Amino acid sequence: MTATTEPARGPLGLDPALLEILACPDTHHSPLTVDEAAAELLCTTCDRAFPVRDGIPVLLLDEARHRGTSGA
């Protein structure tokens, strides 16, 4: 309504400029990669997967899924 420019849409409907700066909320703050099929953002250091719900990343440690034994 009051936005000055229409946001660009990247994978999972996310703004590419936003994706570029997103990081894991854990203290290592590593970059995230997009898993489009699972609609998740994956940490490149730890084994957390963060859900993207209704086009909004939920980047809370206690709502992350642990992917398993790989990673830290």
Partner 1 sequence: MAELADEAMEAEFGTVAAWTEQAVRALGPEYAVPAGCRGSGSESALRWLADGLELRPDSRVLDDGAGVGGPAGWLAAERGVRAVCAEPMAEAVRASHRLFGLPGVVADAQGLPFADGAFDAAWCLGVLCTIPDKAAALAELRRVLAPGGRAGLLVFAATGPLTGPQPEGNTFPAAEELPDLLAGAGLRLERTGRADLSDSPPEWTERADAVDAEVERRHGQDPRWQEAQEQSGRVGRLLSEGVLVPWLGLATAR
Question: Using CB under 8 A, which of 36, 37, 62, 69 touches partner 1?
Answer: 62
12 binds partner 1 (CB under 8 A): no
Interacting residues of 43 by C-beta distance below 8 A, sequence separation 6+: 24, 26, 30, 32, 49, 50, 71
Contact by Cβ (8 Å): 57, 41? yes
31 binds partner 1 (CB under 8 A): yes
37 binds partner 1 (CB under 8 A): no
Applying CB under 8 A, the residues found at the interface with partner 1 are 1-7, 14-15, 17-18, 21-27, 29, 31, 50, 53-63
